[in-house]
Amino acid sequence: MKRIWILVANQAEAQIYSGMNVPGDLSLVATLTHEEGAAHKRDLASAAPGRVHDRMGQARHSMEPDVGVREKERRRFAKQIVTRLQSAHLQGDFDRLVLLASPAVLGVIRKMLSGDLSRAVVMEIPKDVVGQGMEEIHRQLSRS
């Protein structure tokens, strides 16, 4: 029988479960955390937003922090997740993979998957269920 891994992830935490069937009995393989993924955008920026002058007049306005900061952190964590999955797949730890992740994280992970790992994906569920317990994970897996 082929072993299946289920990735449950959002931008701050990822849990990897192992089982033989979906849905079925699952055991936790690993938990990855990314504290920056839960941080506010303002906490990720190195300084307060800059200020600019109007072209005409004396008014000054603050600039918004770089909106790409959050996306960079999401990509950094997704790369860590995919690296872990690729390593385990090459070692033969699983044959099939289910991705149950928040839509933004799922999109980034999908783009980073190698050909072999991409072919191992048997199901994708764009839903953030991190921290909601095994019952919710089973419910989402049963729906698809």
- DSSP class of residue 133 equals -
| Structure confidence at residue 131 as a pLDDT band (50, 70, 90) | confident
Give the integer Cα–Cα distance in Å for 70 and 88: 28
| Structure confidence at residue 124 as a pLDDT band (50, 70, 90) | very high
List C-alpha distances in Å: 109 to 11, 36, 53, 117. Answer: 11, 17, 40, 11
CA atoms within 13 A on the CB side of 139: 8
For residue 143, what pLDDT is reported?
A: 84
For residue 43, what pLDDT is reported?
A: 47
List C-alpha distances in Å: 18 to 24, 67, 94, 97, 131. Answer: 10, 36, 8, 9, 17
- Give yes or no for a contact between 112 and 137, defined as CB atoms under 8 angstroms apart: no
Mean pLDDT of 50-77: 66
Among 50-54, 88-92, 133-137, the range scoring the smallest mean pLDDT is 50-54
